[in-house]
Amino acid sequence: MRELRNKVVVITGAGSGIGRALALQFAKSGSITALTDINGITLRETVEMVEDLGGISKGFVHDISIESEVKILAREVQDTFGGADVLINNAGLTVRRACFQDSAPENFDLMMDVNFYGPVYCTRAFLPQLSAKPEAHIANVTSIFSMMGVTERIAYCSSKFALRGFTETLRLDLGKTHIGVTSVIPGAISTNITQNSKGWKDAKAKESAVNESARLAITTPEYAAQRIIKAVLKNKPRIIIGRDAWWMDKLARFFPTGYLALVNFSIRQLERKRKRIQEEEIATRKIAV
């Protein structure tokens, strides 16, 4: 795209994290933002933050995993702003860590519904609007886990592998049109995705996962948003965000089978570290008592 001023940008998952950072930075570029999230409270906060910057924005509370709601969203954007110029499929969800044999079937359904079918539904619903504009773009936020399998992340990895395949094939299908498509592959970003994850039976296990995620998240949502916007402007087919994602991408490319052993070794090291931290916390509590 040549410019973003006065372009209507639809962003899913805009209530926090990368979605919120995108909304603010698109607003600074003069874009009009149509924001959606399942959480109406945090979505309203984002809209207010955009308005505080002098931007034009409106929030639409919808569950993008339900196709009928996505169709309503598309009609609302058409009626309110005259249609979308840019679609950012950012909304995503994860569930508690579990190997396949311990994964609940409903967790697989949830991951595919939100992480894969949500972007598919949004793309299908907004494609007529994007086609009607002189220039348009779609960016789908996948994950470094769309490039490599990681133990205890089977439902999440499956949904993100599917989304990356969809995105890259979509770019080919739309290759002769004016609609650009970008696959966004971030590493660990400091968002609340783990905090919002589902399926945990043990509150302490979830707390431990949240703390670990916070330690590993070395990239800010603001930086990720900057990279995504540049990719939209330059019509990049794929971008890797974060040093961790860069190294993991290279690992998967140069060692397409060998990386499995390296990843498993790293996971075992993390498990030992996690266990040691838990034991230290227990010992500290006993001393305090």
Positions annotated as catalytic residues are 156
Rg of the chain's alpha carbons, rounded to an integer? 20
Residue with tokens 């470094």: 144
Specify the amino acid at residue 254. F
Listed in sequence order, the residues at least 6 apart from 30 whose beta carbon sits closer than 8 Å to its beta carbon are 4, 5, 6
Q: What's the token pair of residue 95?
A: 């569930």
276, two tokens: 């040691």
Residue 208 to residue 198: CA distance in whole angstroms: 14
Strand locations in the chain (E): 8-12, 32-37, 56-61, 86-89, 136-141, 179-186, 238-241
The pair of structure tokens assigned to 41 is 């409270």
